[in-house]
Structure 1
Amino acid sequence: MNTARLNQGTPLLLNAVTKQYADNTVLNQLDLHIPAGQFVAVVGRSGGGKSTLLRLLAGLESPTAGELLAGTTPLAEIQDDTRMMFQDARLLPWKSVIDNVGLGLKGGWRDAARQALAAVGLENRGDGVACGAVRRAETACRAGPRADPPAGIIAAG
């Protein structure tokens, strides 16, 4: 896999992208060009394909047909570190904040989890039980800290 990363100077191109789940066509022949450096918001009705589009762009799913390009390179060839934060909390309410952040981590997970909590200003909350906004930050910590976080695309709905 090519380890090159997307940068601010790379346009995204979607050519005739279709995504189907069984008999349900969610995206049909979508053509989209996002120029280099552009910020894009994806908005629409519930069930309109916003999350599907974002999963395709993140490389978490493959299109049924069509192509996704970063410049002239297939998008799937340059994605190797995708993280995803779900729209709803995916936490274990009976576990502490630090234990939830550490889910899926191996080895010295506790130190890595504490660093992630410190990165979002929650270093003193590790032993507590998550609630409200802390749950969102906790879920973001589970997605993994990044030295150079990209601008996010937010799916409304």
Structure 2
Amino acid sequence: MLNQTTRQHWMSVMAKSSAETLIALSDKYVNSHPFETIRAAEVGLTQVRGRMGGTGSQFNVGDMTITRCVVRSPEGHYGHSYIMGRNKDHATRAATLDAMLQDQIHQSLLMEKIIQPLAQDLAIKKVQKADTVAQTKVNFFTLVRGED
């Protein structure tokens, strides 16, 4: 039985990874499998919402371009993807891998060879970005004048 949290994890990792890396890591696993295209990769917009202070009232930030795709594997698994931006190849490959990862035959190999390296790469980039941001941090303080 497929765990929903596990699927959310691999879909998130594929969506956040660079298209070039995802395609390079998965070429030898995906190219030999035929997939039926249910919804070809298409570009569209979605509304992005935010919260004031992270917890306050919601407001519309603006629109964001996304690319989505749906495929079906010969075993009958449906693969879905939603990718930020306009990269149709990225969306198609992520949907294809999602369908393959749902099959127990391919899941452990693909998790080891594709998803784990991508997740490690994303973690390294997150730490590097946090270090870069921390270098520009400014601490503000207020001097209180005494009462005369």
TM-score range, shorter chain: under 0.3
- Which of the two has greater helix per residue? 2
- TM-score, structure 1 length as denominator? 0.20
TM-score by length of 2: 0.21
Q: Based on CA coordinates, which of the two structures has the bigger radius of gyration?
A: 2
Asked which structure has the greater RCO (Cα within 8 Å, sep 6+), the reply is 1
Structure 1 or 2: more strand by fraction:
2
